[in-house]
Amino acid sequence: MRVQSGGGVSGVTSAGFLSEVQEFRATVGDSSLTLAEKRRALELIVEHAASLDPSAAGFASAGVALKEALCSWLDAQPAGEH
């Protein structure tokens, strides 16, 4: 997953967010990444979700994608941590 640093989110579209969630789901399943790297990817997904325009086409789909991302995150956690 592309990890941007330096703050400031601009230009995140619903369609772009859907792509980011697909990448995130692959990131969570990647055993070569640390938990900290995966957590940063989750933080970016949540940050980008918060920047979406609720009146834009595809906003509802982005909400469903966010739910899927969070479920992927929870599924990837060791048993007993959630």
Q: Is residue 44 part of a domain?
A: yes
pTM value surpassing 0.85: no
When divided into structural domains, the chain yields a total of 1
Q: Is residue 82 part of a domain?
A: no
pLDDT at 82 over 70: no
Q: Is residue 81 part of a domain?
A: no
Residue 34's contacts (CB-CB under 8 Å, 6 or more residues apart) are none
Rounded CA separation 11/25 (Å):
21
User: How far, CA to CA in Å, does 45 sit from each of 3, 25, 37?
Assistant: 10, 11, 13
Rounded CA separation 25/72 (Å):
6
Domain range enclosing 69: 14-76
pLDDT, tens digit, 9 for 90 and up, residues 40-81: 999 999 999 999 999 999 999 999 999 999 999 999 887 765
pLDDT recorded at residue 10: 59
pLDDT, tens digit, 9 for 90 and up, residues 23-40: 999 999 999 999 999 999
pLDDT at 3 over 50: no
Q: Is residue 39 part of a domain?
A: yes
Q: Is residue 53 part of a domain?
A: yes
Q: Which residues in 23-62 belong to E strands, given as ranges? A: none
Residue 11's contacts (CB-CB under 8 Å, 6 or more residues apart) are none
